[in-house]
Amino acid sequence: MPVKDSDRSPILDVLRGIAILGIFINNIYGFSGYGFFTEEYKKQLSTYPIDKVISFLQTMLVEGKFYSLFSLLFGIGFSIIIIRTEAELKKITGENFLLVLKKWRGKHCY
């Protein structure tokens, strides 16, 4: 069941978007095929002098940082789900436990 807009945290959504953008930027290198070029072919390119600098910046600023950020945000989101589920379960009495369990399984397991 989707979360209502009023229950969402805008800062988490913005950070998730930044993390996904960073992962995309990091993957552009792999998608371009530049890593498969031979060193001789790379030297023929007009961008060769700056490529080493860009590669260094990508490694230091992009690679791994955004994956870590996205993983951290996933964990935060998962903990929010657990907290909300525990709050829902505290409302449950013994009489309707099975009914609620079936309803929860229907929402989250299929």
Is residue 100 scored above 80 in pLDDT?
no
pLDDT band at 96 (very low <50, low <70, confident <90, very high): low
pLDDT band at 17 (very low <50, low <70, confident <90, very high): very high
CA distance 35 to 110: 41
CA distance 57 to 53: 6
Provide the percentage of residues in the chain whose pLDDT is more than 90: 17
pLDDT tens digit string along 19-62? 999 889 888 888 888 888 898 998 999 988 898 898 888 888 88
Nearest residue to 37 (alpha-carbon basis) of 49, 28, 29:
29
